[in-house]
Amino acid sequence: MSTGGGQTLEDIMARQERLKADGESRSKETGNPANAAPINEPLGTRGGRSDADAWRGIRYDNIDIETQVRNPAADVLIQDGGMRWYQLREGPVITYGGGAILGFIALLVVFYLIRGRIKIEGGPAGTTIERFKAVERFGHWLLAGSFIALGLTGLITLMGRSFLIPVMGADAFATLAAGSKWSTITLHGRSCWGW
């Protein structure tokens, strides 16, 4: 049965299962201004388009937009250029990136189990030599702490939705994500100023 360009049950079910739905036929159903009702008739100011037609035209970027702003993106109302990155991030990046992180952790554990602690030949001499000054150690751990914090907040941002929300719940994750966002801004701001 034809829906005249509207959604079909198959489209809705495909979206719910995160499958690609065919939007090609609907992308052309954006109303015909030639069929517009006169301005003094009901729907006359819409120019022959329904709400669904207008929003479909906006979604598929084939609606006539008039604006006073003069730049290339002024008439783009819905920008979905980031969808390809979002789909890549939600799929292969999380799958293979998460596997790579776990793989490197496993390699470090295996290396430690095989090699063990690195011992000093002949044992400690009993004297202590200051290799790095306090300011150098402070600078080292400030930088190392920043890397660790940025790494953890990056993992929270990248994989939190998939792994942390089911474990800790949406409210607790929202607090954690907001905190990680502010700590990242703080650390990034300091690194920009050379702290």
Q: How confident is the model at residue 106, as a pLDDT?
A: 97
Q: How confident is the model at residue 56, as a pLDDT?
A: 73
Q: How confident is the model at residue 46, as a pLDDT?
A: 55
d(CA 71, CA 124): 70
Q: How confident is the model at residue 113, as a pLDDT?
A: 95
Q: How confident is the model at residue 171, as a pLDDT?
A: 92
Grouping H, G, I as helix, E, B as strand and the rest as coil, residue 162 is helix
Taking each continuous run of H as one helix and of E as one strand, the counts in the chain are 8, 0
Classify burial at 51, counting beta carbons within 10 Å of its beta carbon; exposed 0-12, middle 13-18, buried 19 or more: exposed
d(CA 149, CA 184): 8
Q: How confident is the model at residue 80, as a pLDDT?
A: 73
Q: How confident is the model at residue 195, as a pLDDT?
A: 43
Q: How confident is the model at residue 191, as a pLDDT?
A: 46
> With a cut of 50, which residues of the chain have pLDDT below it?
1-5, 191-195
Q: How confident is the model at residue 28, as a pLDDT?
A: 65
Taking the CA atoms of the chain, what radius of gyration do you get in angstroms? 28
Domain boundaries defined on the chain: 1-79, 83-117+144-192
Query: Would the pTM of this model clear 0.75, i.e. be above it?
Result: no
Q: How confident is the model at residue 22, as a pLDDT?
A: 67
